[in-house]
Amino acid sequence: MRAKKSYGQHFLKDKGLARRIVDALEFLPDCPRILEVGPGKGVLTRLLLARQEAFLAVEADRDMLAYLEEHLPETAEKLIAADFLKLDLKTVFDGACFSLIGNFPYNISSQILFKALESRALVPQLVGMFQREVAERVVARPGSKTYGVLSVLVQAHYEGRYLFTVKPGAFSPPPKVQSGVIRLQRREKPLVPDELWPAFRQMVKTAFGQRRKVLRNALKTLAQQPDFLEHPLMQQRAEQLSITEFLDLLRANR
């Protein structure tokens, strides 16, 4: 079975690394279900099946589904033939919560994170392998070059930790870049209240859309209050602001 570029497939072949990834997934007694995205040839799937009965895997590639059913027949009742990005996550475990795990396809990895973020009430935990640049961006702190929209929006609801780096040789075919594994655990209390989330998200995306500009210029189209553009934080650039400071700006404009 050859990897398909259209699906961004790079099959993990290092069983030791697979064990490290699965072991990074904390067992949650109140939420024992697990959903794997893009099981590929099943190197993570085998370990997850052995660990947890309440397990499902979603795969968009029909050829890959046939491969799994042939080489890993115990997955027969555990596979969902669907595009994860189009899947209604409330239907997966009948509305119950679940942890998300996967060697995520590089070409849609950011979209997977945003999808999980939209369904954060269902996803208390995520362990995933990403292109290293994306993994670092997710957990980046204010002031760093990698800090951006993904960092702010994900960290508003999840605490992130970069676990380890994976070299290209661990995959077949080997990608041209290194990979990184991260764990996200949902905060008990989000840093941004749900009622402010749509406006907060818009402000963050607008600010980073012109990240080279100071915020007074980047956010002028969002000004609703006459003194909003005179706020002291307006002299900063987007990558310099913490989540709390973005929230302060938002409240100053309401």
CATH of the domain at 239: 1.10.8
Last residue of a domain, one of 129, 151, 186: 186
Q: Are residues 208 and 133 in the same domain?
A: no
**Do 137 and 224 reside in the same domain of the chain?**
no
Same domain, residue pair 98 and 139: yes
Residue ending a domain, choose from 162, 186, 210: 186
CA distance 219 to 215: 6
Residues 71 and 95 in one domain: yes
Note whether 158 and 71 are same-domain residues.
Answer: yes
Cβ atoms < 10 Å from Cβ of 42: 22
Domain with residue 54: its CATH number is 3.40.50.150
Same domain (yes/no): 179, 215:
no
Structure tokens at 54: 């309440």
Using only the alpha carbons of the chain, give its radius of gyration: 20
205: left (phi over 0), alpha (psi -120 to 50) or beta: alpha
At residue 93, the pLDDT reads 97
Q: What is the DSSP string of 196-239?
A: GHHHHHHHHHHHHHTTTSBHHHHTGGG--STTGGGSGGGGSBGG
Give the pLDDT confidence score for residue 53 in this predicted structure: 75
Q: Are residues 15 and 137 in the same domain?
A: yes
Q: What is the pLDDT of residue 3?
A: 46
Q: Which residues of the chain have pLDDT under 50?
A: 1, 3-8
Q: Are 41 and 15 in contact (CB under 8 A)?
A: no
User: pLDDT (tens digit, 9 = 90+) per residue, 45-80?
Assistant: 999 999 877 999 999 999 889 999 999 999 989 999
The two structure tokens encoding residue 176: 């041209």
Count of domains observed in the chain: 2
Distance CA 104, CA 157 (A): 20
Q: Are residues 180 and 86 in the same domain?
A: yes
DSSP three-state, residue 19? helix
Instruction: Choose among 59, 112, 113, 114: nearest CA to 83.
Output: 59
Q: Of the residues 170, 186, 202, which one is the last residue of a structural domain?
A: 186
User: Quick one: 153 and 221 in the same domain?
Assistant: no
Residue 216 and residue 122 share a domain: no
Please check whether residues 172 and 224 belong to one and the same domain: no
CB atoms within 10 A of CB 217: 13
In the numeric block, which tokens belong to residue 187? Answer: 């905060």
Specify whether the CB–CB gap between 33 and 97 falls below 8 A. Answer: yes
| pLDDT of the residue at 145 | 92
One-letter amino acid at 203 equals: M
Whether 222 and 121 map to the same domain: the answer is no
Interatomic CA distance for residues 24 and 9, integer angstroms? 22
Percent of the chain with pLDDT over 70: 96
Q: Which domain holds residue 224?
A: 194-252
Structure tokens at 199: 């406006």
